[in-house]
Chain A
């Protein structure tokens, strides 16, 4: 079967660093995405990894290890506005016309003062 696992909830302190992990088992791999979703709002794209290694984008970085089926999102210098749900999504094998995304349930991050 196809599965994505993320922790349900995490808590961190303003100014700190937090790492949100994502492990996946999918029939094929064609890229991994991280999206941020504030409560009641639309998901917004954060990062994309298709090769092993670290992708850095300002305060946010995302790491991928394809052999381990593992990714993490690293958030540095946490701000209160980073309180949100973080969704991990994996694009599986090219199936017909749909490069299907398999979504994790999201990690709800609470940043405390």
Chain B
């Protein structure tokens, strides 16, 4: 089954404790992206990657890091989480070209930073 898998789905952590949210897709998509979704602010792009070893900042990259060492994986790293990073996070992927550019989303990771 074609899918984007995120882990963990739910996490409560404390300020300053490094964490990684993993994202893996099995559709051989070149493009992958991380979004956060907050009430009243909608979906905001954190980082994106056009292919292996190619990453770039989105609209709200501060406090986050990413890496793309393999095509299928695109982990999101919070080196020193703060309460303002409490949010619902989505990983998404698509073909780099493709007819529509439809994005496929993971199920989401709800993060709470105390």
Contacts and interface: CB of A to CB of B under 8 A. Distances in A.
Interface residues of B, number: 22
B101 A91 contact: yes
B87 to A, nearest CB: 13
A68 B58 CA distance: 28
Interface stretch (A21-29, A42-50, A71-79): A42-50
A35 to B, nearest CB: 8
Contact of B42 (A41, A91, A106): A106
Given A103-B42, A105-B40, A105-B42, A42 B105 contact: yes
Contacts of A45: 100, 102-104
Nearest to B110: A40
Contact of B102 (A33, A87, A103): A33
Contacts of A67: none
A21 B40 CA distance: 18
Nearest to A46: B102
Nearest to B98: A99
Contacts of B54: 97
Nearest to B108: A42
Interface in A35-62: 35, 40-45, 48
Interface string B24-56: 000000000000000011111100101000101
A43 B90 contact: yes
A98 B56 contact: yes
A45 B101 CA distance: 10
Interface of B: 40-45, 48, 50, 54, 56, 88, 90, 100-108, 110
- Nearest 4 Cβ contacts at the A-B interface: A42-B105, A48-B100, A105-B42, A97-B50
8 contacts: A33-B100, A35-B103, A42-B90, A42-B106, A43-B90, A43-B103, A48-B101, A91-B101
